[in-house]
């Protein structure tokens, strides 16, 4: 029986499929295709988190974010530094502030 996926998968998925006695049909993506596939994977993982709300799904979102970071030529350290800078300047979301409007 053939099951279609047509999506980016984690690096060890092909070997896991083989261990189950099945044969994966694969191809390696070109750079632009890879970036597009990562964007789709991020959307998929965010949807899964929104449905499940689990730490495991959050870890999957983080995995994709880090892969996007590396694919776009940034280091995890650069991402962390950018996060810390923005957090220091604008704060986080801990105070649960919901902006309704502003008046001039």
- Compute the mean pLDDT over every residue in the chain, rounded to the nearest whole number: 98
Range of the domain at 72: 29-90
**1 part of a folded domain:** no
**75 part of a folded domain:** yes
Q: What is the pLDDT of residue 93?
A: 98
Query: Helices H, strands E: what count in the chain?
Result: 4, 0
Instruction: Classify residue 99 by its DSSP letter.
Output: -
CA dihedral (71, 32, 50, 16) positive or negative = negative
**2 part of a folded domain:** no
**96 part of a folded domain:** no
**5 part of a folded domain:** no
Residue 40 neighbours by CB under 8 Å, 6+ apart = 7, 8
**82 part of a folded domain:** yes
**16 part of a folded domain:** no
Q: What is the pLDDT of residue 32?
A: 98
Domain count, the chain: 1
Residues with pLDDT less than 70, the chain: none
**103 part of a folded domain:** no
Q: What is the pLDDT of residue 15?
A: 99
């Amino acid at each position: 029986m053939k099951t279609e996926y047509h999506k980016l998968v984690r690096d060890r998925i092909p070997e896991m499929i083989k261990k189950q006695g099945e044969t994966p049909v694969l191809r390696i993506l070109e750079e632009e295709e890879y970036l597009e596939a990562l964007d789709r994977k991020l959307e998929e993982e965010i949807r899964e988190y929104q449905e499940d709300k689990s730490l495991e799904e959050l870890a999957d979102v983080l995995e994709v974010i880090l892969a996007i970071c590396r694919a776009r030529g940034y280091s995890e350290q650069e991402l962390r530094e950018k996060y810390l800078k923005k957090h220091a300047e604008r704060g986080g979301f801990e105070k649960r502030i919901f902006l309704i409007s502003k008046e001039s």
